[in-house]
Structure 1
Amino acid sequence: MAQTLRKDAAANRERLLHAARDLFTSHGVDVTLNDIAHHAGVGVGTAYRRFANKQELMAALLEDALDELEGFARRALSEPDAWVGLVDFLDHSLDLQFGDSGLNAIMSHPALADDQVREAQTRIAPLLEELVAKARRQGAIRPDVEQSDIIFLQAGLASIRNRSADVEPDLYRRYLQIFLDGIRADRTLTPLPVTALDATRTHAAMTQSRRPSHRRG
């Protein structure tokens, strides 16, 4: 009986996470835990036994996404050709970011605690830094490219994707290719006018929308 209850609890948890992904994709991340429970076909009480609140559910989604993202980064690092690894990481991470997990929207939502968002930096940034450094050592990319450039690229592509998804959901890939062509080392390089941000300043820039404004209205 106990094993059956554990299986039922695990199944309900997965149904709730799947329903949250569906609703976040179709209605945005401001839906309620009650909405998610109804969409999952489970009782509201069951939902609150699995997750105390929507923040806890979003944290679980973020954890799952970070596990996937870390797997992509480690696989990219194991690829002997650093350029192939970097492109593979970008392809898969962008699919995750724009896919049904809604990673981009989840990470920017104020319902998540700051330490949960910082976990993304702690886990992923060092791997991405290592991947970019490997590509520089192999001469695959221009020597002034940094891991923060990749992060800001993803943010820029997210903006393009948000504006064009209803017209052409894959339009962002055009600009991804333009970027990739621009960082390859096998061409004449134009000096970059601004120095790349370090990891701390990148994190501050990427999470500024989460911080309340102190300006007087």
Structure 2
Amino acid sequence: MTPSAAPGETPDEQPEPGLRADAERNRDRILAAARRLYATEGLGVSMASVAREAGVGKATLSRRFATREELINAVFADRMDAYAGAVAVALADPDPWQGFTGYVHAVCAMQAADRGFADVLTMTFPAAKALEARRAEAYEGFVQLITRAKAIGKLREDFTSQDLVILLMANAGVIAATGDAAPDTWRRLVGHMLRSYAAPGADIPPLPEAPAPTALYRAMVRLTRTGTHTSS
């Protein structure tokens, strides 16, 4: 069977194998560059900066990814898979409270490992259909985690799914603010929040050590120099 042509092409106008390979290499370079920049600088990086980092022209970038949302969707597809997968792992835990706390910590750790992903979890991208579908899947799983943890009396009755969104926003801010000056500060925040979510009698996870005063001072100096007060 003869392969069908792409829209606007006749069969004998199909790109040559060499051209297709070049296009694929450019796409891979763009994705690798975007991952590097998003991971260290967040989603505020411009498309022009991504093109420069990848060593391609703006037109080439636009041909591969017409919009910022398309690029974000491609860059974070695997991370969103891991995000949704973390819910499945938590739901499989025979201890609902341990599954709940493990999931919260795992998601916050994902944010800490990639500043761009920290931003993704606190924003919405309606045009990025695949990304938003995985987010919805993870949300539904988290609602189940809440129900299970409350059913055994370990999670406070007034906890809601919105509280996770609030935590992810706060965690993204801490990650952006502290950077590499005090990179483990987020663990202290999450430890305190998990304690606040626990119902009386629940096993409370150990509270991580507070960052050293000198580390927080370096983070404050960094904020003063960069003027960075949010994760954007």
Asked if Structure 1 and Structure 2 have the same fold, meaning a TM-score greater than 0.5 normalized by the shorter chain, the answer is: yes
Cα distance between partner residues in 2 of 1:167 and 1:4? 46
Q: Which of 27, 49, 63 is the equivalent residue of 2:63?
A: 49
Q: Residues 108 and 149 of structure 1: is their aligned pair in 2 closer, same or farther, counting only changes over 3 Å?
A: closer
Identity, in percent, stands at 29
Query: What is the root-mean-square deviation in Å for CA atoms of aligned residues?
Result: 3.2
Contact 1:21–1:101 (CA under 8 A) maintained in structure 2: no
Quick check: 176-185 or 2-11, which moved more? 2-11
Q: Residues 7 and 95 of structure 1: is their aligned pair in 2 closer, same or farther, counting only changes over 3 Å?
A: farther
Contact 1:73–1:128 (CA under 8 A) maintained in structure 2: yes
Contact 1:22–1:100 (CA under 8 A) maintained in structure 2: no
Would you say 1:181 and 2:195 are equivalent positions?
Answer: yes
Secondary structure of 1:102's aligned partner? helix
Aligned length in residues: 187
Equivalence for 1:124: 138
Would you say 1:70 and 2:92 are equivalent positions?
Answer: no
Cα distance between partner residues in 2 of 1:90 and 1:15? 33
TM-score (norm 2): 0.65
- Segments of 5+ residues of structure 1 without an aligned counterpart are 189-217
Cα distance between partner residues in 2 of 1:84 and 1:30? 35
1:7 is displaced (CA, Å) by 6.3
Q: Which of 51, 60, 75 is the equivalent residue of 1:61?
A: 75
Q: Residues 10 and 101 of structure 1: is their aligned pair in 2 closer, same or farther, counting only changes over 3 Å?
A: farther
TM-score (norm 1): 0.69
1:6 is displaced (CA, Å) by 6.0
Would you say 1:93 and 2:132 are equivalent positions?
Answer: no
In the TM superposition, 1:197-208 aligns within 5 A as: none
Partner amino acid for 2:101? V
In our comparison, the structure showing a higher alpha carbon Rg is 2
- Segments of 5+ residues of structure 2 without an aligned counterpart are 1-14, 203-232
